[in-house]
Amino acid sequence: MVGHAYQCELALAAAFQALVAHVAGGKPSATAPAFTYLMTPKQFDTVRRICDRQGWPIPNCRGILIDADAVQHPLEQRAIKDGCSRAEVEDILVKAYCPHSVVRINRERGRQAIMLNAHQRVKVGACSLYGFAIVELKTAGLKNYLAPVTAYHASEAKRRALLI
């Protein structure tokens, strides 16, 4: 079973690498590869409990669509604001959308959750940080689902604050 989990993480990393390379290469979004990150049962249950407590619609879809739009914002903003390389942004995304990530409410915004990998660190420059993604609850007809907003890296202090 451990081998299978590792293979899944490698496949996820390869999918992010291909998508980030496409977007960074300036190719059209319409031709970009896309995939779905399937939350673990524990992650999905946590999201559902958060939504129930907040009085938000309960998600009925475990998948999070990862497409060109999902990586465009973190790729641009992490490079501009933090000087991150393309490989560092890939690593942030891979670590954030990971079976090891915990899910918490984003207290700064409504109808948003944070997926934080508090176990595996991301190397950004000389710093060892944590990758996290912000996802937002959306509704389309009868479908309630999570959609990516952005991804960041967080210091140990920020990690502790998010896990409260």
Residue-by-residue DSSP string for 82-145: H---HHHHHHHHHHHSSTT-EEEE-TTSTTEEEEEEEEEEEEETTEEEEEEEEEEEEEETTEEE
Structure confidence at residue 41 as a pLDDT band (50, 70, 90) = very high
Cα 66 versus chain centre, distance: 9
Q: Which residues contact 30 (CB under 8 A, 6 or more apart)?
A: none
In contact, 114 and 96? CB cutoff 8 Å: no
76: left (phi over 0), alpha (psi -120 to 50) or beta: alpha
* pLDDT reading at 11 higher than 60: yes
At 163 the pLDDT is 67
In contact, 121 and 133? CB cutoff 8 Å: no
Distances (CA, A) of 72 to 35, 76, 116, 118, 163: 15, 6, 19, 24, 27
Which amino acid is residue 27, in one-letter code? K
Residues forming beta bridges with residue 154, ordered by sequence position: 130
In contact, 37 and 64? CB cutoff 8 Å: yes
* pLDDT reading at 69 higher than 60: yes
Out of 22-31, 50-59, 61-70, which region has the weakest mean confidence (pLDDT)? 22-31
Structure confidence at residue 105 as a pLDDT band (50, 70, 90) = confident
Mean pLDDT of 96-124: 85
